[in-house]
Amino acid sequence: MNAVSKRILSICLLVALVGAAVWGQAWTLERERDVFASGAVGAYAKENVASLTLARLANGIPVVVRKSDANRILGIKAVLLGHVSNTPLEKAGLESITLTMLSKGSAKYPYAEVQRLMFERSAAIGASVAGFDQTSFDLNVLDTYFDEMFDVWADAFLHPSWNTEEFPRVMNNLRMARQQAENDPFSLTVKMINERFFAGHPYAANWEGAGSSLDTIVLDDVQRYWKDTFTAGRLMIVAVGSFDIPKLLGQLNATFGRMPAAAYARPPVPALAGRVKSDLILQNFPDSEGVAYVRGNFALPSPDHPDYPALVVAFTLLDDVLFEIVRTRNGACYSAWSRVHGFTADYGSIVVYRTSVPGAVKRMIDESIGVLLSGQCLSGRVSASAEGKSGIGGSGEEAPAGVVVPKVQAGGAFVPIAEALPYYKRQFITGFFEGQQTNLQVADEIASSVVYRGDYRSWLLFLDRVNAVTPQDVVRVARQYLRDNPVLWIVLGSQDLLDGVKRDDYLRFTGE
């Protein structure tokens, strides 16, 4: 390391120690400082914490680097805090549109040149927007081309050209996607229940647009939103790969570090608990071809709540029990699943996908929950691999195209949770590592760790927290959040199917 590099590193580390108070940063970065200082962490955290470096740029933007020599791909993302809470409902989708426009050319690089460089360098520059609480603008590239593509990426974020030819195409693509979703019965089911579930909440401003918002957004809105909200106070940089850290910090200070220092106060995101009332939406969809779609939404505690690890374990167990009872034993649907979505204002959902008996499946759902309440679950010896079961607590919405018929042995046995829990914990660990196969996936883990748990290292502790979950914890959270929690349900299908639905079944727990 030369003298200049040492000087840059020492300045950045000093800046990191000064902390957020100097710049009024909205980011909480080291909430679990005492836990790590005590050394009372598991082997995975001990092994990996030294690979993480926290620094700040001259204007206060925090930078987290995970040094990894596992491959030659370098991933970096400019993370923006807040997302939909910054966006008025009548302009829902504005931030995702703004981020998409960044990749359509910059002051130094016309759009055609950006496309050429990405193709020739096998690089990817683009937006990541599928979440309510954060977005990012990402670069993924081979180390050989990083310096060149870093300049393209940084210029795109800091000096966009606002390509007037591409803007109508971006908007048309979004409108077409929304129209296609409204013509798909399952996508429409999700859209309709979420509109009702999030009414009056910041999450109502969905990143895909809400109401007629996509018809009202013009390029001037995008430019003004970028100028007003893409500020240093909202930003965090996360980089994962075999970086020369002093060099990277120098590059960042010469670009993002020159943004004016700015404080940012994230708009409040109230919890959904207490806002949800048990209710049922019956939606006629004449073209559903003899099947209905059932979904229930309910409030859950946020990812930094002590119950969260037990919740993600309980929902993984419920996922398999649901499929066993609703699909395998009763042949009542194509698939069934449960999700913990993992947002600041967190919520869960239960889905029965393509059922011909919507009037009967609610009792089957409650029967499945009752299995957990009785202290049992599906045996770990039964093979269950429904779509999404490789991970716990995923935050994304379900996509019909990704639904796979699970291969579950008929008549799977229920056993005490204590007997099967080690299997499910191993399943989680496998899914945890499968979700970190690329450097950008690891960067996502780090960013989410900061956004949802207030510490860039917190993701390293999640294995310990899942391993600490007991059978009693599973039963307790199942009772509190699955049996005793208000649920908003929707059944979408043709009228003849809706006629067989008893409203009372959906407004009470029938499992006991």
Do the domains 3-258 and 279-507 sit in the same CATH topology, yes or no?
yes
Quote the CA–CA distance of 427 and 469 in Å, as a whole number: 14
DSSP state of 30: B
Distance, CA of 117 to CA of 121 (rounded, Å): 6
First to last CA, the chain: 67
Mean pLDDT of 47-51: 95
**pLDDT of the residue at 512:** 67
Domain locations along the chain: 3-258, 279-507
* Predicted pLDDT of residue 433: 85
pLDDT band at 435 (very low <50, low <70, confident <90, very high): confident
pLDDT at 8: 34
CA dist 459 and 446 (Å) reads: 7
Nearest 5°: CA angle at 401, between 396 and 402? 55
Distance, CA of 355 to CA of 365 (rounded, Å): 13
User: Has this prediction a pTM greater than 0.95?
Assistant: no
108-121 per-position pLDDT tens digit = 999 999 999 999 99
Query: What strands, in cross-sheet order, belong to the sheet with 347-355?
Result: 279-284, 488-493, 292-299, 347-355, 335-340
What does the pLDDT read at residue 91? 96
Asked if residue 59 has pLDDT above 70, the reply is yes
Average pLDDT over residues 10-14: 38
Q: Is the pLDDT of residue 411 over 80?
A: no
* Tally of CB atoms within 10 A around 164: 9
Angle at 468 between CA 464 and CA 471, to 5 degrees: 150
- CA torsion sign, 321 to 326 to 328 to 334? negative
Work out the pLDDT band at 46, boundaries 50, 70, 90.
very high
Chain-centroid distance of CA 501 in Å reads 33
In which band, very low, low, confident or very high, does the pLDDT at 412 lie, cut at 50, 70 and 90?
low
CATH 3.90.550.10 describes domain 279-507: no
- Per-residue pLDDT at 386: 39
Domain 3-258 of CATH type 3.40.50.12240: no
According to the model, what pLDDT value does residue 496 have? 95
HSE-CB at 124 with a 13 A cutoff on CA atoms is 13
* Residue 39: band (very low, low, confident or very high) from pLDDT cuts 50, 70, 90: confident
